[in-house]
Amino acid sequence: MTVKAMTSKEVTQKVFNKEELFILDVRNESDFQDWKIEGENFDYLNIPYFELLDGVEEILEKLPSDREIVVVCAKEGSSVMVAEMLSEEGLTVSYLQGGMKAWSEHLEPVKVGELRDGGKVYQFVRIGKGCLSYMVTSNGEAAIIDATRMTDIYLDFANEIGAKITHVFDTHLHADHISGGRVIAERTGATYWLPPKDATEVTFEYEALEGGNVVTIGNTAIDIHALYSPGHTIGSTSFVVDEKFLLSGDILFIDSIGRPDLAGMAEDWVADLRESLYLRYRELSEDLVVLPAHFMIIDELNDDGSVSEKLGTLFAKNHGLNIEDENEFRKLVTENLPPQPNAYQEIRETNMGKINPDEEKQREMEIGPNRCAVR
């Protein structure tokens, strides 16, 4: 009996639309506890695959007969077999196509705003890892910020909307995912920009992105102002686009702030992080719409699936922006941090061009949640 595959895109739409879904996750308990598909109205049952080899009869009473069920595993194979067994028992069930590997790589483009000249800002939501990347378009040109390694998605999307990619930026040297910036620049002839303080060990050529840089996209001067804002890394740079949007990289999130320890420099960089958030950002307009490079929890998604909030609102509501005592702030960002991202040192070295893992190895390095924020 054949069962239907459910794609990562279909699951993403259920997340965005706050639909109900019952997930039977057949990975090991530790993998499930570490990282799972999250949705506001999703329910879960985690039963490792090896416990179901002799049949699914014992779990039938734990599964709903009146709701959509999707079986999830690491790569797909196990979930197909379990879904087929459940289907034979009369349940309506599908399996996640490509498993959690595919979920980790899915990007969903969402339009988050318009520029004064009619240009647009798109956010690419990497729903399974919480990574957010951006495309800014104006007059047939496009800039990409914090691209993931799934480069075809950006190239195809730019092609679809008739935009030529002319500039590619990374706000900092990423430690939780492999950047696609360099590959996109090579494939399109675009200029690749990196903050020089994060690029001291890179093995390739790049344009130095420094505070005060203004890069124009299109004929109509959509200015991308680079704002030096160290703290998550020493080179971390934010962008103000069209005096309307603040791309905050991994310095400021909707519900948290960036962690300063991923290059082993937590104690050294706390003061930089505080200065960026408490002094440099305070000089900006509170009406700027903050577009971060990550989200942490599903609650941060807006109704359309995008992640954004006005800077003034974050000054009022984000706990990380409201710690008056400097010692308390230091404690928050150096103690009780979540585990560091999987393979983060190898990811940093890949982004420096020092190592060049094959595609399968890159996928393995990125599996798991992002952990770029303090708790």
Q: Which residue has the higher pLDDT, 270 or 193?
A: 193
Residue 209's alpha-carbon distances to 121, 221, 236, 293, 314, in angstroms, are 20, 18, 10, 17, 26
Q: Is the pLDDT of residue 163 over 90?
A: yes
Least confident range of 6-20, 78-92, 219-233, 306-320: 219-233
- Mean pLDDT for 196-212 is 90
Q: Is the pLDDT of residue 262 over 90?
A: no
**Is-catalytic flag, 73?**
yes
* Domain 4-102 shares a fold with domain 107-366: no
What span, in angstroms and rounded, lies between the C-alpha atoms of 20 and 226?
42
Instruction: Sort 27 into a burial class: Cβ within 10 Å, 0-12 / 13-18 / 19+.
Output: buried
Determine contact, residues 25/44, Cβ cutoff 8 Å. Answer: yes
Q: According to the model, what pLDDT value does residue 100 have?
A: 95
Instruction: Sort 143 into a burial class: Cβ within 10 Å, 0-12 / 13-18 / 19+.
Output: buried
Q: According to the model, what pLDDT value does residue 213 have?
A: 83
Q: Is the pLDDT of residue 270 over 90?
A: no
* 107-366 fold: Metallo-beta-lactamase; Chain A (3.60.15)
Spell out the domain ranges in the chain: 4-102, 107-366
Q: Which residue carries 């399109």 as its tokens?
A: 188
- Mean pLDDT for 42-46 is 97
Whole-structure pTM value:
0.93
What span, in angstroms and rounded, lies between the C-alpha atoms of 102 and 27?
15
Percentage of residues in the chain having pLDDT higher than 90: 71
Q: According to the model, what pLDDT value does residue 204 have?
A: 92
Q: According to the model, what pLDDT value does residue 344 have?
A: 84
Q: According to the model, what pLDDT value does residue 301 have?
A: 94
What span, in angstroms and rounded, lies between the C-alpha atoms of 195 and 197?
6
Give residue 25's pLDDT band: very low, low, confident or very high (50, 70, 90).
very high
Q: Which residue has the higher pLDDT, 220 or 159?
A: 159
Q: According to the model, what pLDDT value does residue 361 have?
A: 93
Least confident range of 42-51, 178-187, 329-338: 329-338
Percentage of residues in the chain having pLDDT higher than 70: 95
CATH 3.40.250.10 matches 4-102: yes
Q: According to the model, what pLDDT value does residue 261 have?
A: 66
Q: According to the model, what pLDDT value does residue 272 have?
A: 85
Q: Are strands 245-249 and 4-6 parallel, antiparallel or unpaired?
A: unpaired
Q: According to the model, what pLDDT value does residue 252 have?
A: 93
Give residue 367's pLDDT band: very low, low, confident or very high (50, 70, 90).
confident
- Mean pLDDT for 336-348 is 79
Please write the tens of the pLDDT for every residue from 111-156.
Answer: 999 998 889 999 999 999 999 999 999 999 999 999 999 999 999 9
Q: Which two tokens stand for residue 234?
A: 């020493």
Q: According to the model, what pLDDT value does residue 86 have?
A: 95
Mean pLDDT of the chain: 91
Please write the tens of the pLDDT for every residue from 207-249.
Answer: 998 878 888 888 655 567 778 777 677 888 899 999 999 999 9
What span, in angstroms and rounded, lies between the C-alpha atoms of 322 and 133?
27
Per the residue annotation, which of 52, 73, 217, 296 is the catalytic one?
A: 73
Please write the tens of the pLDDT for every residue from 65-89.
Answer: 888 899 999 999 999 999 999 999 9
Q: According to the model, what pLDDT value does residue 263 have?
A: 60
Give residue 271's pLDDT band: very low, low, confident or very high (50, 70, 90).
confident
